[in-house]
Amino acid sequence: IRLGDALARLAAGGSPLMRGAAGAVQVLLGQEEARAFGERVASWVDGAAGPESRTALSARLTGLLTAAGPLLEAAAPALAPLLNRVAELSDRDFLDRLPALRGGFDTLSPAARDRLLSAVEERLDGEHPADTGDIDPAALARWTRADLAAREALTALGLLPEAGGPTEDPVDGVIERSARAASARTLSPADRWRLLLGRRQDRLPASARSLATALDELYGQGRGEGSRGDMAGRGRGGREAPYPGAREWSEELAALFGPGIREEVLAAAAAAGRRDVLTELDPDTVRPSVDLLRSVLRHAGGLPEARLAALRPLVRRLVEALTRQLATRL
3-state secondary structure the chain: CHHHHHHHHHHHHCCHHHHHHHHHHHHHCCCCCHHHHHHHHHHHHHHCCCHHHHHHHHHHHHHHHHHCCCHHHHCHHHHHHHHHHHHHCCHHHHHHHHHHHHHHHCCCCHHHHHHHHHHHHHHHHHCCCCCCCCCCHHHHHHHHHHHHHHHHHHHHHCCCCCCCCCCCCCCCCHHHHHHHHHHHCCCCHHHHHHHHHCCCHHHCCHHHHHHHHHHHHHHCCCCCCCCCCCHHHCCCCCCCCCCCCHHHHHHHHHHHHCHHHHHHHHHHHHHCCCHHHHHHCCCCCCCCCHHHHHHHHHHHCCCCHHHHHHHHHHHHHHHHHHHHHHHHHC
Using 50, 70 and 90 to split pLDDT, how confident is the model at 74? confident
Length of the chain: 330
Using 50, 70 and 90 to split pLDDT, how confident is the model at 185? low
**Distance between CA atoms of 265 and 276, rounded to whole angstroms?**
13
State the CB neighbour count (10 A cutoff) for residue 227: 14
- Contact partners, residue 199, CB within 8 Å, separation at least 6: 110, 113, 114, 117, 234, 235
* Mean pLDDT value of segment 53-81: 91
Mean of the per-residue pLDDT values of the chain: 81
Measuring CA to CA, how many Å separate 149 from each of 50, 161, 243?
Answer: 33, 17, 28
Asked if the model's pLDDT at residue 42 lies above 50, the reply is yes
State the CB neighbour count (10 A cutoff) for residue 252: 17
First-to-final CA distance of the chain = 34
Q: What is the pLDDT of residue 288?
A: 83
Model confidence over 191-243: pLDDT tens digits? 999 999 999 888 999 889 999 999 999 988 777 786 675 444 444 444 445 68
Model confidence over 252-304: pLDDT tens digits? 999 999 999 999 999 999 888 888 888 888 888 888 888 888 888 887 777 77
Counting beta carbons within 10 angstroms of the beta carbon of residue 237, is it exposed (0 to 12), middle (13 to 18) or buried (19 or more)? buried
Which of 22, 23, 56 is closest to 38 using CA atoms? 23
Which of 283, 280, 264 is closest to 98 using CA atoms? 264
Q: What is the pLDDT of residue 234?
A: 46
CB 69 within 8 A of CB 108: yes
Asked if the model's pLDDT at residue 24 lies above 60, the reply is yes
Model confidence over 305-323: pLDDT tens digits? 777 888 888 889 889 888 9
**Distance between CA atoms of 61 and 81, rounded to whole angstroms?**
14
Give the CB-side neighbour count of residue 33, counting CA atoms within 13 A: 6
